[in-house]
């Protein structure tokens, strides 16, 4: 990222930041416990074997949550207020996949310190698993 973290004035269109994480079985079970989403495709190998994926997959919103990590800790950083997010899920994330969320500034509205960022999550093979656009406000 060329703009300084948390400093709205330094952020420019084209700036980008990313965050990577390997998705574990405990991440999936933890997410299920927090949200109550116990869909068998995520937590039951026998049921998941009969699904289109043939095995358990991570909740799509885990990958989406990594976008929030980038926005709240890197670009624009602390003080960010999430205003909206468009998401399109493109491919499954399997247990053990390492996914990278990347956010790129595509629009900067100085009057209200609002940014629009292109968002994407890719797996370790470079396959896009999620795309979208985030709208955030920087308060610091």
Question: What is the reported pLDDT for 5?
Answer: 54
Q: d(Cα 109, Cα 24) in Å, to the nearest integer? A: 38
Q: For residue range 16-31, list pLDDT tens digits in order.
A: 999 999 999 999 999 9
Residue range 8-138 forms a domain whose CATH class is alpha beta
Q: What ranges do the domains of the chain cover?
A: 8-138
Q: For residue range 54-70, list pLDDT tens digits in order.
A: 999 999 999 999 999 99
Question: What is the reported pLDDT for 6?
Answer: 54
Q: For residue range 33-52, list pLDDT tens digits in order.
A: 999 999 999 999 999 999 99
Residue 89 φ/ψ, nearest 5 degrees: -85, 125
Confidence at 3, pLDDT banded by 50, 70, 90: very low
């Amino acid at each position: 990222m060329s703009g300084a973290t948390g400093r709205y004035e330094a952020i420019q269109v084209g700036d980008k930041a990313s965050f990577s994480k390997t998705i574990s079985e405990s991440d999936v079970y933890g997410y299920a416990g927090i949200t109550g989403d116990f869909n068998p495709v995520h937590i039951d190998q026998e049921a998941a074997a009969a699904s289109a994926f043939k095995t358990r997959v991570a909740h799509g919103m885990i990958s989406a949550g990594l976008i929030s990590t980038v926005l709240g800790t890197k670009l624009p950083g602390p003080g960010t207020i999430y205003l909206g997010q468009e998401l399109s899920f493109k491919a499954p994330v399997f247990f053990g996949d390492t996914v990278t969320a990347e956010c790129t500034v595509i629009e900067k509205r100085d009057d209200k310190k609002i940014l629009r960022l292109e968002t994407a999550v890719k797996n370790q093979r470079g396959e896009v698993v999620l795309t979208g656009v985030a709208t955030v406000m920087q308060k610091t």
